Amino acid sequence: MTARILPDRLTRLTASSAASMLLWLSRTVLALLVAYPLLSAIDATGITGSPEHDALLFRPGSLLLLELARLGLPWFGAIFKISLLLGALSALCELLPLAGALDVLHDSERPLAERAARTLRHFPRFLALGAITWAAQAALLLAASLLDTALKAALQHADERLLTLAPVAWFGLALLAGSWLSGVLDVARAAVVRRNANARDAVLEALATLREQPLALLCGSYVSTIAGLFGYLVAAWLMTRLDLSAQMPTRIALAFAVHQCAIVFGIAWRVRWLRRALELGARDSRLSSGC
């Protein structure tokens, strides 16, 4: 019994690692593309030409950081728009490695060429599902905004703390619901990969899963989100202990390592959830078909 479980676990671990690596690599490459215009703009200000290079930007008090903001402001706005556009395109491109990662998790034995072909085939359906989720998330935020406007008049004589916190609560709930919508979307994506479902069937399957196993879906996707957030917060806290204004290359390397660990940590938890999404959908299909 132990002998059978161990290879299974090893296979799962290898597949998860491969999926995580694929997602990390693709995100890193795309992030470089997005960050490049802004980094070039910083370089063009001349601030990095100092003998201490950009260590000046990290000095306590932020004198040079504000100087950079002041001098760069006229063109930073324009360059930020370019980065934003690249970011939107990159986010769409990320659907390809995501489809690939789900495929790896579903069947780690598939040949590379076949996997690439399947990934390309899935891309339009991933795109359609993404658009549906974005629209639903936008609707949630709009609803939160409308709720806030509607309740503003009712709350005008309330304690000022309530007045401040009410919109935070509405938008927080909308974001949480949006995050769970992403979880539903992942189950739909899993359906696309697992049984080549079209977008409509994939959504129906995801909704069925939500109906049949709400706790499993909501908890599973929530864990992925909150674990990632925890990783980022810990990384941010560690950065507060690291003085980057010192001329020490090891500190830069350490900062890079900490940040990338946080990214990989978040990706690992997402991959764990994607595997669950594949399993949840499969279980639900069995349930629906009377298995």
Partner 1 sequence: MRRAGRDLLIGALFTALSGFALRALVTARSAPPSPSQQSASMASFSAPSAAAESVASYDIDAKLDAVTHRVSGHETIRFVNRSVAPLRELWFHLYLNAFKNDKTLFLRSPFGAGRSGDKAHEYGYVDVKKLTLVGEGAADGRDLWPNRDLHSPADPEDETDVRLPLPSPLAPGATLAVELTFEDQLPEIVERTGYSGSFHFLGQWFPKLARLEPDGTFAHFSFHALSEFYADFGTYDVSLDVPDAYRVGATGKLIRESHAAGRNQLRFHAENVHDFAWTAWDKFEIKSERIAGVQVSVLYPPHQERNALAELDSVRFALPHFNALYGTYPYDTLTLVHPPSGADNAGGMEYPTLITTGGPWYATFGGGHFIDIVTIHELGHQWFYGLVASNEHASPFLDEGLNSYAEAEAMEAHYGAGAVFDGFGLSVSSTALNRAASAARGADEPVAQGAADFASFRNLGALVYSRTAIVMATIGRVYGQARLAHAVGTYTRRFRFRHPGPNDFVAVIQEELGAEAATALSSALFARGTVDYLVREIANAPEPSAAGVFDSPSGRQQKKPDPPHAPGQYAGRVVVYRHGTLELPVDIELTFEDGSRQRRHWDGHGFTHNVDYAGPSQIIAVNVDPEQRILLDDDLTNNWHSVNGSAAPRAFERGLYAAQLVLGELGP
If we measure between CA atoms, which residue out of 126, 60, 74, 68 comes closest to residue 98? 126
* Closer by beta carbon to partner 1, 66 or else 78: 66
If we measure between CA atoms, which residue out of 207, 224, 214 comes closest to residue 265? 224
Number of residues counted as binding partner 1 (CB under 8 A)? 87
Among positions 2, 4, 51, 109, the unique one binding partner 1 when judged by CB under 8 A: 51
Among positions 15, 19, 22, 57, the unique one binding partner 1 when judged by CB under 8 A: 57
* Angstrom distance (rounded) from CA 255 to CA 102: 30
Give the chain's radius of gyration (CA, Å). 23
Taking the alpha carbons at both ends of the chain, their separation in whole angstroms is: 25
Among positions 15, 55, 102, 274, the unique one binding partner 1 when judged by CB under 8 A: 55
Q: Which stretch binds partner 1 (CB under 8 A): 1-9, 37-45, 115-123, 200-208?
A: 37-45
Asked if 9 touches partner 1 (CB under 8 A), the answer is no
Residues in the chain: 291
* Angstrom distance (rounded) from CA 85 to CA 78: 11
* Closer by beta carbon to partner 1, 2 or else 240: 240
Among positions 18, 21, 45, 285, the unique one binding partner 1 when judged by CB under 8 A: 45
Q: Are 187 and 213 in contact (CB under 8 A)?
A: no
Residue 53: CB atoms within 10 A of its CB come to 11
Site for partner 1 in 75-94 (CB under 8 A): 83, 87, 90-92, 94
* Closer by beta carbon to partner 1, 38 or else 110: 38
Burial call 158-175: b when 16+ CB within 10 Å, e when fewer: eeeeeeeebbeebbeebe
* Angstrom distance (rounded) from CA 23 to CA 234: 21
Q: Are 170 and 148 in contact (CB under 8 A)?
A: yes
Site for partner 1 in 245-264 (CB under 8 A): 249, 252, 255-256, 259-260, 263
Query: Which pair of tokens denotes residue 161?
Result: 């703390």
What's the closest the beta carbon of residue 131 comes to partner 1, in angstroms? 7
What's the closest the beta carbon of residue 108 comes to partner 1, in angstroms? 21
Residue 123: CB atoms within 10 A of its CB come to 17
Site for partner 1 in 187-246 (CB under 8 A): 213, 215-216, 219-220, 222-223, 226-230, 232-234, 236-237, 239-241, 244
Site for partner 1 in 122-161 (CB under 8 A): 126-127, 129-131, 133-134, 159-161
* Closer by beta carbon to partner 1, 50 or else 114: 50
Half-sphere exposure of residue 93, counting CA atoms within 13 Å on the CB side?
Answer: 15
* Closer by beta carbon to partner 1, 51 or else 111: 51
* Closer by beta carbon to partner 1, 59 or else 115: 59
What's the closest the beta carbon of residue 5 comes to partner 1, in angstroms? 17
* Closer by beta carbon to partner 1, 91 or else 169: 91
What's the closest the beta carbon of residue 191 comes to partner 1, in angstroms? 16
* Angstrom distance (rounded) from CA 23 to CA 27: 6
